[in-house]
Amino acid sequence: MATLSKAAQLKADGRFWLTLDGRNFLGRGRVELLQRIRETGSISKAAKAMKMSYKAAWDAVDAMNAAWQSPLVESGPSGSRLTEEAERLIAAFHKAEARHAAFLEKLSDSLSAAAP
């Protein structure tokens, strides 16, 4: 009987990242950072809102800007802003992440159905 209750709890799980040249490029945390930059107009304020250091936020922005063919965040004397390219990537990430979640749910359902 214990086997049946454990099998009913069996589910597929996994984190979703977009990779670029074999390296993690865009995940949930980086997307949140970009969205916070959009909201606040500041890398520093975005970092503070996420309870992360300014250096960690700046390093993430710098890595994304360097990896992509054009900057995702532009900074100037009046603050920081997302480029149109960043907005497109955020939308693509959310769409792909939703499909990933749906796939995992469907896979979990098939695991439960196959359990004894």
Residue 101 maps to a domain: yes
What's the chain's Rg over C-alpha atoms?
A: 19
* Tally of domains within the chain: 1
* Tokens encoding 72: 């995702």
Residue 91 maps to a domain: yes
pLDDT in tens, 37-87: 999 999 999 999 999 999 999 999 999 999 999 999 999 999 999 999 999
Are the C-beta atoms of 25 and 64 separated by less than 8 Å?
yes
Residue 2 maps to a domain: no
pTM of the predicted protein model: 0.85
Residue 7 maps to a domain: no
Average pLDDT over residues 13-29: 94
